[in-house]
């Protein structure tokens, strides 16, 4: 709006600032809590300025977790989470771009049925099929392994659908020109489709990485050894049940650590992410 009304500007800013505070305040509390000692944190009211335990708390959880809850080192968990999120994101992109390529550029019998079969699985969230999937994973000896964390959730109907929609916007003549130039299907895929999909892949990577990182239910089921925990599971396990005390300062430090990688991915790939969502030029 091209208007110059001071009170309107003030009002707009006030609302934005309130919004930012609402979102940021819990994060601030988490951060402050992660820098306090256990005694400071259970003191009511909890202080809202950072304490001096930053290094101690973080190095404690990275090396040894919480002594009262789960003692698994968060460092390993972060690594597990990272491997799982990368595996899921890259795997999903790889599989779905290939299946979308097959569906758009090859004529084979029942092509549409296959597409709709993939599409229908969009309607089935992981929770619906989790028991049979667990049974299959268990029978294949995938429990407590990276393969078990990644493989069962590696197919993505959403990503396939997105790539399909993108491929539909690539002019047919491009494929024909490549045929005339002598490029076989895979050569065309490698030389033309992949470079053109770069921004889409980047945008999807951001989304899928965060989804994979935050995946809770599946790692909870498939892992039972502490060495295979992902960090989101780790946080839950650190919260001791029953009468035991929970070292909230350490839990909060872990939460801060769990938050960093997805935030980093978003910040670092923001340019590509936005480009992938808005770019129209083919």
Residues of the shown chain interacting with another protein in the complex, contacts defined by CB under 8 A: 171, 173-174, 176-183, 187, 191-192, 195-196, 281-282
183 vs 269 by CB, closer to another protein: 183
Distance CA 38, CA 248 (A): 7
Nearer to another protein, 127 or 281 (CB): 281
Q: Which is nearer to another protein, 192 or 211 (CB)?
A: 192
Closest approach of Cβ 82 to another protein, in Å? 30
Comparing CB distances to another protein, the nearer of 6 and 182 is 182
Buried b (16+ CB within 10 A) or exposed e, 94-115: eebbebbbbbbeeeeeeeeeeb
Question: To the nearest whole angstrom, how small is the minimum distance from the Cβ of residue 178 to another protein?
Answer: 8
- Do 92 and 155 form a contact (C-beta atoms < 8 A)? yes
Contact 249, 38 (CB under 8 A): yes
Q: How far is the CB of 107 from another protein (least distance, A)?
A: 11
- The residue behind tokens 């239910």 is 217
Q: Which is nearer to another protein, 16 or 168 (CB)?
A: 168
- Min CB(206)–another protein separation in Å: 21
- Name the residue nearer to another protein (CB basis): 139 or 281: 281
Residues contacting residue 164 through CB under 8 Å, at least 6 positions apart: 100, 103, 104, 115
Report angle CA 74, 244, 61 to the nearest 5 degrees. 15
- Cβ at position 122, least distance to another protein in Å: 30
How many CB atoms lie under 10 A from the CB of residue 121?
Answer: 16
Distance from the Cα of residue 251 to its chain's centroid: 21
How far apart are CB 116 and another protein at their closest, in Å? 21
Give the integer Cα–Cα distance in Å for 198 and 259. 26
Length of the chain: 282
Buried b / exposed e over 58-86, threshold 16 CB at 10 Å, is bebbbeebbeebbebbbbbbbebbbebbb
Nearer to another protein, 127 or 173 (CB): 173
**Who contacts 75 (Cβ-Cβ below 8 Å, separation ≥6)?**
62, 63
Q: How far is the CB of 244 from another protein (least distance, A)?
A: 58
Q: Residue 196 has which token pair?
A: 């053109």
């Amino acid at each position: 709006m091209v208007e110059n009304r001071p009170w309107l500007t003030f009002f707009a800013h006030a609302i934005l600032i309130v919004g930012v505070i609402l979102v940021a305040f819990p994060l601030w509390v988490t951060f402050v809590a992660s820098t306090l000692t256990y005694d400071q944190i259970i003191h009511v009211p909890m202080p809202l300025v950072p304490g001096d335990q930053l290094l101690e708390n973080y190095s404690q959880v990275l090396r040894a977790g919480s002594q009262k809850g789960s003692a698994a080192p968060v460092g390993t968990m972060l690594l597990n989470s990272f491997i799982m999120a990368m595996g899921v994101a890259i795997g999903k992109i790889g599989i779905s771009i290939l299946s979308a390529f097959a569906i758009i550029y090859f004529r084979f019998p029942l092509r549409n049925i296959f597409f709709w079969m993939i599409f229908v699985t969009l309607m089935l969230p992981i929770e619906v099929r989790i028991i049979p999937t667990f049974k299959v994973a268990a029978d294949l000896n995938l429990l407590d392994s990276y393969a078990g964390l990644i493989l069962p959730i590696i197919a993505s109907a959403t990503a396939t659908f997105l790539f399909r929609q993108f491929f539909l916007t690539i002019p047919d003549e491009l494929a024909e020109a490549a045929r005339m130039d002598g490029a076989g299907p895979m050569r065309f895929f490698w030389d033309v489709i992949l470079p053109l999909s770069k921004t889409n892949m980047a945008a999807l990577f951001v989304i899928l990485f965060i989804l994979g990182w935050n995946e809770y239910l599946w790692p909870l089921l498939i892992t039972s050894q502490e060495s295979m925990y992902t960090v989101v599971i780790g946080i839950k396990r650190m919260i001791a049940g029953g009468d035991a005390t929970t070292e909230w300062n350490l839990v909060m430090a872990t939460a801060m650590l769990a938050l960093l990688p997805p935030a980093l991915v978003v910040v670092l790939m923001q340019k590509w992410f936005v480009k992938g969502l808005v770019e129209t030029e083919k």
